[in-house]
Amino acid sequence: MSNQFPWDTHSDQPHILKKALKKELRKGHAVDYAKLIATNLIYFPYLFLKFYFKSKLHKQRIKTPDFYGLCVNLDKGEEQFSLVEELGVKSLQIRVFLNDIDNIDDYVNFAKGFGTDKAILITIIQDREHIEDHQLLARDIKIIFEKFKEITNEFMIGNAINRIKWGFVSMEEYLAFYERVQKVRDENFPQIKLIGSSVIDFEYHFTIRTLFNHYPIHYDKVASLLYVDRRGSPYSTQMKIFDLKNKIEFLDTIVRNSSKCENAIYITETNYPLSGTAPYAPTSEKECVSEELYNKYMLEYLEIALKSQKVEKVYWHQLIAPGYGLVDNRDGKIRKTKAFYSFKKLLNE
């Protein structure tokens, strides 16, 4: 990442930006925010009422054999190959960073290392240079699509797009970014499926803007980084009625009523931060949980998502990460948590 957006190697995400920098980045985007507000004034009440008085007549989605997915990272090493085989997981998500395009072959070889029986989702991570320079974006997206076309046909475009620290200042920037990527796909790789809009947390006003607009775009599947860790149990509520089940129901309502997407949802990232793991935990100690609670909440989360019959896949984030993963690799040692074995059991049921 650039000096403006420094990367935290412990928690695998950008550092929180200073308020002064965020204020500077937002300059010139007043119209973008006005569009966000106007879109939600029109659509949010309508969609909420549709959710609240939801019909039970909708056709439910069917669980696929690869419902349980897992995020793996190039920088976590080749130990992941054997761990994935031990778990028996077939759906994997791999991040590819646009600002690391010079090392694209390393990502390709990493993906190939998991064998040919895996369904791989490539998540393309944005940066300011590619957001601002669409010619550069088109060039590098074409490289990525070409390199991975024999490995997978699923690509998630962007990640946590509603967090400025990840690079996008507004939803309009993301929509223009996605439109340019889609043009490359349409002209050169018609077999590829594009997934978006990758909004993190229960912030569906951003999702609504990316699914209700006049841009000539279409999502083959809708991605949500649906964390509920700050609420504790997935059964806990936000705004009194929104537990995980209802958050999924509301997202489903938004997706079903948009002409910009297929009726298909992936939860592409979720986990719980682990107590006593600073600086690896991605949140403060206040939100962290013990390994016992992590295991309990993970099983609850996956059960709710599965029983909702409205989600095609859930990707747990991630395999190796001391602060929030299934495996702790501090001090160069691989330690499998209780959640690792619970996840393995789910995959083999």
Helix 204-211 to helix 171-188 angle (10° resolution) is: 40
Residues 199-235 have pLDDT tens digits of 999 999 999 999 999 999 999 999 999 999 999 999 9
Q: Compute the average pLDDT of residues 318-333.
A: 96
Beta bridge partners of 125: 97
314 burial level (CB within 10 Å; 0-12, 13-18, 19+): buried
pLDDT > 90? residue 54: no
Q: How many CB atoms lie within 10 A of CB 309?
A: 15
Model's pTM, two decimal places? 0.96
3-state per-residue secondary structure call for the chain:
CCCCCCEECCCCEECCCCHHHHHHHHCCCHHHHHHHHHHHHHHHHHHHHHHHCCCCCCCCCCCCCCCEEEEECHHHCCHHHHHHHHHCCCEEEEEEEHHHHHHHHHHHHHHHCCCCCCEEEEEEECCHHHHHCHHHHHHHHHHHHHHHCCCCCEEEECCCCCCHHHCCCCHHHHHHHHHHHHHHHHHHCCCCEEEEEEEECCCHHHHHHHHCCCCCCCECEEEEECCCHHHCCCCCCECCCECHHHHHHHHHHHHHCCCCECCCEEEEEECCCECCCCCCCCCCHHHCECHHHHHHHHHHHHHHHHHHCCCCEEEECCCECCCCCCEECHHHCCEECHHHHHHHHHHCC
What does R_g of the chain's alpha carbons equal in angstroms?
19
Give the Cα separation of 208 and 39 in Å (integer).
8
Name the CATH superfamily for 17-55+66-347: Glycosidases (3.20.20.80)
Residues above pLDDT 70, as percent of the chain:
96
- Specify the pLDDT at position 262: 96
Closest to 158 measured CA to CA, from 134, 142, 178, 140: 178
Each residue's pLDDT tens digit, 159-189: 999 999 999 999 999 999 999 999 999 999 9
Write down the domain spans for the chain: 17-55+66-347
Q: For residue 55, is pLDDT > 90? A: no
Task: List C-alpha distances in Å: 232 to 119, 139, 243, 290.
Answer: 30, 43, 10, 11
